Chain A
Amino acid sequence: EIVMTQSPATLSVSPGERATFSCRASQSVSSDLAWYQQKPGQAPRLLIYAASTRATGIPARFRGSGSGRDFTLTISSLQSEDFAVYHCQQYKHWPGTFGQGTKVEVK
């Protein structure tokens, strides 16, 4: 089973600033990597798939990058609605596995 490791666990950022956080796979997952946003009490929402393709309706301030084992999600200018937990997920190898999440909180 592929282990996904996200860092940092918590990121404190001021509104308007850039947020960048990472996801590392225990072995290569090519570009089969998705990012989800989850707010308290809500289901996750798909942001990015294929490492860098934004899902329908996702603002351009969300940018995914990387391939192989190392991936990054960047939010260029944090809006109030972006404070949430972000999960990465690999779907290259069965079973698909998630990281433990990065919480983006208000600084």
Chain B
Amino acid sequence: QVQLVQSGAEVKKPGASVKVSCKASVYTFTGHYIHWVRQAPGQGLEWMGWINPYTGDTLYAEMFLGRVTMTRDTYVSTAYMELSRLRLDDTATYYCARDYCSDKSCSVFHYWGQGTLVTVSS
């Protein structure tokens, strides 16, 4: 069974950065895009962007441009999402999700990590 295991909860101050990891197992890490989706408390889901683990190419949603960086380490089958200049309204659960398609982005989120709660508080 495909697994995506994320790093633990974080508490950050406004203006700081946070880096969340997503370790993949039981499949070929470089074969499927990894997406990041966030969910503010009691709110809907918001797509942040994707990374192609094979090439390292990324695509970010416009609202996160300049603040988000997605990277990967193929040796440890792990994707990372770093969000900088944190604001109070960045408080949310951040999920990584594996794309349904192989070798391209369909933006259908087949397998999900368990989520990482990031709390931004002064």
Binding site for B on A (CB under 8 A): 34, 36, 42-46, 49, 55, 87, 89, 91, 94-101
A-B contact pairs, 11 of them (CB 8 A): A34-B109, A43-B95, A43-B115, A44-B45, A46-B100, A49-B108, A89-B107, A91-B106, A91-B107, A94-B107, A99-B44
**How many residue pairs between the two chains, A and B, have CB atoms under 8 Å in the bound complex?**
48
Q: Chain A: which residue is nearest B48 at the CB level?
A: A95
| Complex partner residue of B44 from A43, A49, A101, CB under 8 angstroms | A101
- Interface residues contributed by chain B, number (CB under 8 Å): 21
Contact B109 A44 (CB under 8 A): yes
Most buried by A among B43, B47, B108, B110: B108
CB neighbours (8 Å) of A44 from chain B are: 45, 95, 109, 112
B114 proximal to A (CB < 8 A): yes
